[in-house]
């Protein structure tokens, strides 16, 4: 059993352990989860540390260059004249996924620490939580489309229950909306996956295969197959590969989310309990970005290129639109949710530019947003668990009342609005630089998009600083008198969440090469797909 499998199955085993323990030991559950997540993070850190970089380890469309690869035959069905149905248990990571695997492990640990606030039905909560954990890691490691899809759908199930059972007032609405939105995208994706299966053959065995790395190589497509580049097959009068790209893109765009597929996000975030918000913002959105890069762009490069103008446009609209919406919010959690839309728009813009800076910036933005949105949601959670209110106008002048907390709020806010020294600055600057130089280098994204995207940074400053001014500065004034006692400063457990996140964001802001070096080779290899 390889390291990646351990990474995936460690939480599952722990989950089963929790299910097996009697109810009387329910105080143990969170510690079991904590230990599992901590071990997972250690392992992921080791993987990241031991990850080899350089020319021979780029990955992307070279299966031999992936690292920590595990390949087991999973399902083999003789289908007579149709050949053999080949589904592999194929895991592996390259520069794109290793960063996200590590990020997921970190966010999961933070979310576990934040789960202390959960008081009801602990057994169900923690076992679902661990299931979610396993499936998220699985999504990032899977290199077989079928396996990927299994993990991808497996994520939805625990999330549905976690939001629907431990959520806020309108939790049923939010969880159903979330579930249906995502399912809507992924069901059609399944069709494309089936189409790919029928088109791609494994060069070694000659069987049809779900292997996504083989799907990136045009030579592996059988003649006349629907997704064969030269077959010219059409679906509803459109080129089949274009339709395939759009379907897959929409499936992941819903996850990212980009305008106009984003409206599940504010509701899901607002209703989800704090730890689940952390996971949603910190990891789940990245699944979308990862999927766009790996599957939509990786498998349908020429379709992606032909639509890159629209991709960039959607990205820019998301940036501006999300920021504008955030400016209009009174509910702090909703504000943070919309700011996620805005920040994830940068990812799309960067990817659409198909330049080294743009894609590196987009990946950096995903990781950075992983730290910062987790921090922001956690901050909202800190207030919410104390007084069960999130309305910005019900608070004022918290700075004197909760000085340490306000310090972290300022770090989180300024880091997310792109203060130099924090990761978001590097990420956004590089994304925009990439988008801008795209027209000179490859002509995919026009320059004005980068200029417009830069306005998102301005709006980001506006809504975050306005919130800071309204909630934290000025004289102390709260909606209810008794809140004064309830609003205590952050405790040790909360500090253990906030400090590492702030530290990592700072670290990546000062030494971005920690991440860039790891991704560099993969990004360059990725770009060659579009030449």
Q: Binding residues for another protein, per CB under 8 A?
A: 177, 180-181, 259-260, 262-264, 321, 324-329, 355-357, 360, 397, 399-400, 414, 418-421, 425-426, 429-430, 432-433, 436-437, 439-441, 447, 450-451, 454-455, 457-458, 461-462, 465-466, 468-469, 472-475, 512-513, 516, 520, 523-524, 527
The conformation of residue 207, written as its DSSP 8-state character, comes to S
Q: Mark residue 207 as left, alpha or beta (left: phi above 0; alpha: psi -120 to 50; beta: remaining).
A: beta
CB of 212 to another protein, least distance (A): 24
Q: DSSP for 401-461?
A: HSHHHHHHHHHHHHHHTT-TTSHHHHHHHHHHHHHHHHHHHT-SS-HHHHHHHHHHHHHHH
Closer residue to another protein in complex, CB, 192/468: 468
Question: Mapping DSSP to helix (H, G, I), strand (E, B) and coil, where does residue 473 land?
Answer: coil
Closer residue to another protein in complex, CB, 7/432: 432
Report d(CA 439, CA 443) in Å as an integer: 4
Q: Mark residue 197 as left, alpha or beta (left: phi above 0; alpha: psi -120 to 50; beta: remaining).
A: alpha
Q: DSSP for 260-294?
A: TS-THHHHHHHHS-HHHHHHIIIIIHHHHHHHIII
CB of 469 to another protein, least distance (A): 5
CB of 420 to another protein, least distance (A): 3
Closer residue to another protein in complex, CB, 21/441: 441
Closer residue to another protein in complex, CB, 113/515: 515
Closer residue to another protein in complex, CB, 151/252: 252
Cβ pair 264, 325 in contact under 8 A: no
How many CA atoms are closer than 13 Å to the CA of 30, on its beta-carbon side? Answer: 15
Q: Which residues contact 514 (CB under 8 A, 6 or more apart)?
A: 507, 508
Closer residue to another protein in complex, CB, 9/473: 473
Closer residue to another protein in complex, CB, 151/504: 504
In degrees, rounded to 5, the angle at the alpha carbon of residue 340 between the alpha carbons of residues 429 and 294 is 75
Neighbours of 274 (CB within 10 A): 23
Neighbours of 443 (CB within 10 A): 12
Closer residue to another protein in complex, CB, 54/260: 260
CB of 129 to another protein, least distance (A): 28
Dihedral sign, Cα of residue 343, residue 527, residue 525, residue 429:
negative
Closer residue to another protein in complex, CB, 121/263: 263
Closer residue to another protein in complex, CB, 70/331: 331
Report d(CA 217, CA 300) in Å as an integer: 10
**CA distance readout (Å), 459 to 164, 221, 414, 425, 429:** 33, 46, 13, 14, 15
Strand 208-209 versus strand 84-93 pairing type: parallel
Q: CA dihedral in degrees (473, 476, 480, 483; nearest 10)? A: 90
CB of 289 to another protein, least distance (A): 19
Closer residue to another protein in complex, CB, 68/516: 516
CB of 467 to another protein, least distance (A): 10
Question: Mapping DSSP to helix (H, G, I), strand (E, B) and coil, where does residue 330 land?
Answer: coil
Neighbours of 235 (CB within 10 A): 15
Contacts 24+ apart (CB under 8 A), 79-85: 82/208, 83/206, 83/207, 83/208, 84/205, 84/207, 84/208, 85/207, 85/208
**CA distance readout (Å), 234 to 216, 240, 375:** 20, 5, 46
CB of 174 to another protein, least distance (A): 12
Closer residue to another protein in complex, CB, 145/490: 490
CB of 465 to another protein, least distance (A): 5
CB of 262 to another protein, least distance (A): 8
CB of 432 to another protein, least distance (A): 6
Closer residue to another protein in complex, CB, 131/409: 409
CB of 502 to another protein, least distance (A): 14
CB of 357 to another protein, least distance (A): 6
Cβ pair 32, 17 in contact under 8 A: yes
CB of 454 to another protein, least distance (A): 5
């Amino acid at each position: 059993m390889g390291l990646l499998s351990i990474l995936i199955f460690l939480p599952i085993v722990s989950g089963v352990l929790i299910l097996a323990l009697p109810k009387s030991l329910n105080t143990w559950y969170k510690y079991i989860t904590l230990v599992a997540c901590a071990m997972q993070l250690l392992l992921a850190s080791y993987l990241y540390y031991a990850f080899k970089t350089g020319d021979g380890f780029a990955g992307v469309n070279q299966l031999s260059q992936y690292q920590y690869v595990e390949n087991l035959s999973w399902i083999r069905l003789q289908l007579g004249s149709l050949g053999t149905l080949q589904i592999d248990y194929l895991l592996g990571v390259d520069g794109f996924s290793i960063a996200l695997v590590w990020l997921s492990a970190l966010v999961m640990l933070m979310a576990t620490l934040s789960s202390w606030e959960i008081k009801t039905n602990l057994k169900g909560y923690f076992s679902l939580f661990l299931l979610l954990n396993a499936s998220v890691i699985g999504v990032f490691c899977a290199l077989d489309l079928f396996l990927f899809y299994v993990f991808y759908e497996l994520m939805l199930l625990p999330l549905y229950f976690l939001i629907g059972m431990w959520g806020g007032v309108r939790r049923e609405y939010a969880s159903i909306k979330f579930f249906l939105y995502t399912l809507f995208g992924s069901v059609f994706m399944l069709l494309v996956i089936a189409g790919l299966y029928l088109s791609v053959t494994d060069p070694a065995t000659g069987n049809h295969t779900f292997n996504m790395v083989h799907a990136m190589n045009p030579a592996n497509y059988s003649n006349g197959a629907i997704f064969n580049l030269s077959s010219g097959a059409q679906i509803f009068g459109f080129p089949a590969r274009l339709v395939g790209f759009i379907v897959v893109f929409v499936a992941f765009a819903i996850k990212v989310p980009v305008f106009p597929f984003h409206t599940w996000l504010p509701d899901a975030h607002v209703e989800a309990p704090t730890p689940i918000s952390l996971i949603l913002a910190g990891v789940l959105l990245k699944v979308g970005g990862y999927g766009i890069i790996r599957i939509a762009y990786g498998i349908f490069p020429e379709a992606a290129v032909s639509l890159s103008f629209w991709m960039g446009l959607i990205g820019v609209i998301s940036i501006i639109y999300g920021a504008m919406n955030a400016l209009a919010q009174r509910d702090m959690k909703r504000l943070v949710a919309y700011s996620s839309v805005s920040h994830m728009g940068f990812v799309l813009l960067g990817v659409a530019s198909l330049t080294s800076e743009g894609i590196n910036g987009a990946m950096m933005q995903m990781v950075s947003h992983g730290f910062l949105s987790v921090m922001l949601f956690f901050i909202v959670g800190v207030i919410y668990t104390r007084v069960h209110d999130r309305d910005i106008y019900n608070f004022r002048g918290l700075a004197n009342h909760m000085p340490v907390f306000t310090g972290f709020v300022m770090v989180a806010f300024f880091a997310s609005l792109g203060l130099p020294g924090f990761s978001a600055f590097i990420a956004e600057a590089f994304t925009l630089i990439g988008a801008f130089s795209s027209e000179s280098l490859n002509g995919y994204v026009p320059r004005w998009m980068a200029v417009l995207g830069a306005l998102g940074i301005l709006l980001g400053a506006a809504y975050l600083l306005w919130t800071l001014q309204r909630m934290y500065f000025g004289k102390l004034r709260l909606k209810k008198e008794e809140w004064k006692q309830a609003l205590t400063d952050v405790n040790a457990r909360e500090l253990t969440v906030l400090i590492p996140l702030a530290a990592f964001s700072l670290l990546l802001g000062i030494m971005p090469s920690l991440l860039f070096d790891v991704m560099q080779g993969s990004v360059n290899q990725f770009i060659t797909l579009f030449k």
